[in-house]
Each structure stands twice: as structure tokens, then as C-alpha cells.
Amino acid sequence: MNIEMIQQKLLEKIHIDHLRINEHMSKHTSFKIGGPADIMVLPTTVDEIKHALTLCKEYSIPYQIIGNGSNLLVRDKGIRGVVIKIAENYNAVRVEDNIVTAQAGILLSTLSKKIMEYALAGFEFASGIPGTLGGAVAMNAGAYGSEMKEVLQGATLMDDKGNVIYLDRDALELEYRNSIVLKKGYIVLEAKIALQFGDLGKIKEITNELTQKRTTKQPLHLPSAGSTFKRPPGFFAGKLIEDSGLKGVRVGDAQVSDLHSGFIVNIGKASAEDVLNLIGLVQKVVRDKFGVDLHPEVRIIGEE
């Protein structure tokens, strides 16, 4: 792959300020881990997203779509090809009556504050979930008994040929940490959220209560990718890990959090290899002790 040639092609429709070459992914993940990406695109419009995508397809260049990197582990060798980061450059939001329409790059925390200004209720659960709206739609993110599928009305998506389509909630096939977005490799461009008008004081009270729970029970003071494992049917991953005697266990600077065993945290200069080895260790011990297979919730990408 000729990096300079691809860069020039991208610059035909994307401003140079929105391109990065040999960009270290540790700058773009909440884990603070990850080797360099050959090219990173920070699009501001649908046309820029489409240009980058169709160019990758035309020249058979591998590409990755990421948001804020809050559920992401990038391997130490980095990423070959193009990373399209849909985040802070693509985060407009508008509110009409009880319907909120927002671009995929907006942070859930930012969106929650905007929604609160209109005294709209039902989105409080998402206020502390790290990451972008696009990622939340793709994986049907949830917390404290609620999920995105309860508030989503529909989403505007781009397929791998650059076509823009709209799917309503049912067509999105939202299920536990999965959706048609992940199954088909779609890109989330925009989402519509339907809420109810409520009491602003009560909305703030619920939001503050959930924030308090997170700050006291989750290791938010250390870099991580959130919950490391999906919830196995009938169990809680964190409890299985703790009951296996793994709380505080380390591989290099990767550690099973001593505050919440469902999190693996970076306590210094952990490498992706450290994290992957610790994930493997946790999986083996839990399987041997309880006969339960743990599957990563964190998305693992990059050159092996």
C-alpha cells in the first residue's frame, strides 16, 4: 500500500487538518494503549466518510471504523490501512419536541446534558456510559437495567458501498451487545431517540444517583475499556472473576481492577499484549473453576 498515494486521494475531498499519518492509537483509546495507524481520517461530513470508505474499497485498503475508542483495545503493532474516526468532528444534535436527532460522533455524556436541558426523561441510564452515540447504537449499549433499544426510534446508516439507508428500531435487530450494524458492517451516521417530557429535578436526581454509583463502584480513575467481558447467561462476569481469586491479579501493567473485577485497567504502561495475556488468564481460570466461558466485550483490533 502506497501511503502517500492514498493520502493524496483522501485530500481530494478531505481537509489536511482532518488527516493523520502514522498516528499512535494510544491517543485515541481510553485504555491509552495501541500502536500506530497508517492513516487516520477525522471526517466532518457524510461526504467525507463516504469518500474515505469508497476509496478504501476501490484500492482494497483495509479500514476500521472507530468512535471515541472507549471500548477498544488496539494491538501493539498498530493498524494497517485507514482508521475512520467518527467522533468530536461529527457531533451535531437537534431537538424537536420529544425527538432527539444526533450525529454518531457525539459523546453520550454530552448528549445526556443536552437532553437534560429540554427536561426529557429516559436517557439518564446512558449519561455515564463512555463513548459515542454511534458505538452505543452498534452494540446496543446499556447500564443499570436499561438499553439503547428502549429509546431508539431509528438510525441512519452507511453500507460498505457508501449507500445511506435509514432503519427503524425493529430493523436494527438490537439485542444484547449486538445489532444489524455489527452483523452487516454498517457505519452509524445519525440516530433518532424518542423520549418523554419529565420533571427536570427528578431527571437530575436520577442522573446524579447513577453517577454516584459509577464513581464509587467502577475504577474510573484508571485507563480501561469499561467492562472487559460480556455478561454470561445466568452469571455476572465480575463476580465470577472475583470468586476465582483474580481481583488485583496483574500481567505487566495490566491488572484486574481491585475495585471492580469486571474491569481490566492500565496501571502504568501496559501493552496490548499484557491485556490480552491477562484476558486469556482470566478466561482459563474462570472456565476451569466454574465451567463458564467469558467472551470479551472490548473490541480487539490491529495487526497480530
Active site (catalytic) residues: 177, 227, 297
H-state helical runs in the chain: 3-10, 46-58, 108-117, 133-138, 180-184, 200-217, 237-243, 272-290
Q: Which residues contact 57 (CB under 8 A, 6 or more apart)?
A: 160, 161, 162
Are 193 and 153 a contacting pair, CB within 8 Å? yes
Give the span between the Cα atoms of 267 and 261, in whole angstroms: 14
DSSP 237-282: HHHHHHHTT-TT-EETTEEE-SS-TTEEEESSS--HHHHHHHHHHH
